[in-house]
A and B are shown apart, each in its own frame.
Chain A
Amino acid sequence: MNVTRRKFIQITGASAAGLAVSSLGFDLTPIKSHAQMLKTKYAKETTTICCYCAVGCGAIVHTSKKGDGRVINIEGDPDHVISRGSLCSKGASLSQLTENDNRLLEPMHRAPYSKKWEKVSWDWALTEIAKRVKKTRDASFEHKNAKGQVVNRTTAIVSVGSAAMDNEECWIYQAMVRALGLVYVEHQARI
């Protein structure tokens, strides 16, 4: 990472290891030791761009180098020339988007007429999806339209998404669906 910037991690005065910051204020022992250790002190720092609106604000992600390697803090990047460290309520909640109990963590499958989800493996899911695509595509593929013009397409499979993907992902995604012959290819920009 090529980050030319600030002294964010060069913290001065951090001492008194073992003092824990709690939501209660401070557990102070001894009382006169005010210097607190930042929760971000030993974290890996990476820069990111907020995933919500298109202002493109910069943020710093602090990831624990120990244990589960999860996010411990995300805050505005003071060296970002647009946002200068600012984040709105959504941007300020990025860590809760990441470390969220509601996240999907496994591929899931809902069989026809079923009332529930079932956990499946990635390999099974992708293999089965490829089979469904092939079956539908092969059954619906149009080499020529009603006028006899070559069209090489299917209108039985459609795709919506996604502005939530990175540029590089968008490109390979559109390449994949267009290679399949999809013409109904749409996303957020249309709505």
Chain B
Amino acid sequence: MSKSFLIDTTLCTACRGCQVACKQWHDLPAEKTINRGTYENPADLSFDTYKLVRMREEVINRKLNWLFFPEQCRHCIEAPCLETAGDPGAIYKDPKTGAIIFTANTKRLNAAEIIESCPYNIPRKGPDGTLAKCDMCIDRVENGLVPACVATCPTGAMNFGNRDEMLALARKQLAVAKKKYPKAMLIDADDVSVIYLVGYEPKLYCKNAMASNAVFDITRQMALKRMIRPLTNITSRLL
């Protein structure tokens, strides 16, 4: 059974435990930052930052809101990055969990093209051209644990489990959220393994909170194209 996240932003307090737990588990170094007139830091996802809590102050219906959005890879069900790469030795989908995994071989890809292909602008290039992003803590998941960010979340904002369970939870939480946030919605639930529940318009939370439908249409066309590519071509690029 493939796995999914439900990220209920209506419960997120931006304690940023997830952001640090991610670095802790992956032994990722800190970035040198400055205060940019906001609590949000670092400024963007990077080769060393797979997860970033976006913090936005928005006045909605004359009431101030502080919107929090723990941004990360969505592990798309049909992942444009994977399709664009066409290189299972570099980007592959773990059949058990549905995790989209970037390997050290991503350095042989055209990084700009991969980043461009992502509907959520997630992958980032390292100094040697390798690409990195959230790996769903696949080592933990394979061993029966939940991802580090989910394990550390105090409020139930971060959830992880079998896809059908997460979809059921998403529906349930959406109904709860609608009482307080009539415009609450799930973002791209059918297309991604990381489903966000938001109380307001997605774009208020984060520039790339939502993908445009066009991106996934292109992906599907690309996937078809790959399927008719000669088999030998793929195997030759495995390693």
Contacts and interface: CB of A to CB of B under 8 A. Distances in A.
* Complex contact flag A–B (Cβ < 8 Å): yes
A11 B144 contact: yes
A13 B89 CA distance: 23
Contact of B27 (A23, A26, A36): A23
Interface in B95-118: 96, 101-104, 106
B139 interface: yes
Interface string A66-87: 0000000111101000010111
Contacts of A149: none
Interface string A116-128: 0000000000000
A36 B151 contact: no
Interface in A32-46: 34-39
A25 B15 contact: no
A27 B96 CA distance: 18
B27 to A, nearest CB: 6
Interface stretch (B17-25, B160-168, B187-195, B206-214): B17-25
Contacts of A86: 17, 151-154
A88 B142 contact: no
Interface in A1-49: 7-8, 11-14, 21-29, 31, 34-39
Contact of B92 (A31, A39, A76, A89): A31
A171 B66 CA distance: 44
B60 interface: no
B151 A93 contact: no
B106 A93 contact: no
Interface residues of B, number: 41
- Dominant secondary structure at the A interface: loop
B143 A27 contact: no
A95 interface: yes
A52 B143 CA distance: 30
B104 A27 contact: yes
B96 A34 contact: yes
B17 A26 contact: no
Given A31-B88, A76-B151, A13 B144 contact: yes
A28 B132 contact: no
Nearest to A38: B143
Nearest to B150: A85
A173 B72 CA distance: 48
Contact of A74 (B24, B92, B138, B139): B24
B1 interface: no
A34 B16 contact: no
A21 B19 CA distance: 19
Contact of B132 (A7, A11, A25, A27): A25
Contacts of A74: 24
B26 interface: yes
Contacts of B186: none
Contacts of B92: 31
A80 to B, nearest CB: 12
23 contacts: A7-B144, A8-B145, A23-B26, A23-B28, A23-B48, A25-B102, A25-B106, A27-B103, A31-B89, A34-B94, A36-B142, A37-B139, A74-B24, A75-B151, A75-B152, A85-B151, A85-B152, A86-B17, A86-B152, A87-B152, A89-B17, A92-B17, A95-B24
Interface of B: 15-21, 24-28, 48, 88-89, 92, 94, 96, 101-104, 106, 126, 130, 132, 135, 138-140, 142-145, 148, 151-154, 238-239
Interface of A: 7-8, 11-14, 21-29, 31, 34-39, 73-76, 78, 83, 85-89, 91-93, 95-96
